[in-house]
Amino acid sequence: MTSVVSSPSRTIRIGSRKSQLALIQTYWVQEQLQKSFPDISFEVHTMSTHGDKILDVALAKIGDKGLFTKELELGMINQEIDFAVHSLKDLPTRLPEGLALAAITERENPADALVVHEKHKDKQIDTLPAGAVIGTSSLRRLAQLRHHFPHFTFKDVRGNLNTRMAKLDAGEYDALILAVAGLQRLGMGDRIHQVLPKEISLHAVGQGALGIECRAEDTELISLLKAIEHPETRDRCLAERAFLRELEGGCQVPIGVNTEINGKNLTLTGIVASVDGQKLVKDTIAGSTKDAEKLGIELAQRLREQGAQEILDQIFAEIQRGS
């Protein structure tokens, strides 16, 4: 195995998607590592993923196993790149053999945001008019919003953030639901009209955090990457990912979470909802941060006992039918 720390002449290759947001995130990681290890060269290599190429089909209908990560993972397996930077919410909870989640960076605000058309600038989510057209490509957001606001009209929206914003401003939508973190990282924080409270929308597993994936055998690189890991974010996200993995849900299944840490105590709330918003199972668990993954697994088992599995089985069957 090639040494990282003891070989100053080594160049480490970072894999990234080509999207604007992905590159901003990857260059941030590159900058942090360069500060910590000035004698090592870090190069960014870009790739287009399957999810980047299909922009006219709802994500849930494409199949989401590695939708935004598979090409980068193949790059690592084939020794073309050394590690990849992902939006952690896009990274499947079960990784290909030989790869590992090496580090999780400090999280931006993981909440969802309401972005409105100019004509609704005096409105909040609960005061938008009946029939308002809300754009989202997330089944998780869709299910929760339908549960709370069945009088809205929901419409799928794909494309990069600039494309979505242009569609909103052109009047195709009355409002969009987007991630606070993505808007902030792209310098569009001023477009956040309202940060949705967790009572309305629990966020996606890993939302707001970056996950750094590399070859599991490259222990020296993993040790190096730990320099930019944020322990509190790691514990929160490991609990969330264990919850999702135990439920065997992908990133396009209506599963939402919220985590909080107070000292060494972690509180995890999870939700599973039907796409129409009619059925919703929600519970909370608390315990030590050192048991983060165990808490996630236990909460998933609790929700399954309360009917979550039936909801998920129905959703998977509908997706397979292409409905």
Task: Give me the half-sphere count of Cα atoms (radius 13 Å) on the Cβ side of residue 256.
Answer: 28
Question: Is 283 a catalytic site residue?
Answer: no
- Angle, helix 308-321 to helix 292-305, in steps of 10 degrees: 80
Write b or e for each residue in 225-237: b if 16 or more Cβ atoms lie within 10 A of its Cβ, otherwise e: beebebeebbbbb
Give rounded-to-5 percent helix, strand, coil for the chain: 40, 25, 40
Question: Kindly report the CA angle at 112 between 110 and 114, in degrees rounded to 5?
Answer: 150
- C-alpha–C-alpha distance, residues 197 and 190, integer Å: 18
- Cα(176)–Cα(276) distance, rounded to whole angstroms? 18
How far is residue 285's CA from residue 264's CA, in Å, rounded to a whole number?
A: 14
Comparing CA positions, the residue from 166, 108, 110, 112 lying closest to residue 137 is 112
What phi, psi does 212 have (nearest 5°)?
A: -110, 120
Is 30 within 8 Å of 53 (Cβ atoms)?
no
Q: d(Cα 262, Cα 238) in Å, to the nearest integer?
A: 16
Helices (H), the chain: 20-36, 50-53, 59-62, 70-77, 139-148, 161-169, 180-185, 219-225, 231-247, 292-305, 308-321
Q: CA 177: distance to chain centroid?
A: 14
Residue written as token pair 């993993």: 222
Q: Which of 64, 82, 90, 218 is catalytic?
A: 90
Residues with catalytic function: 90
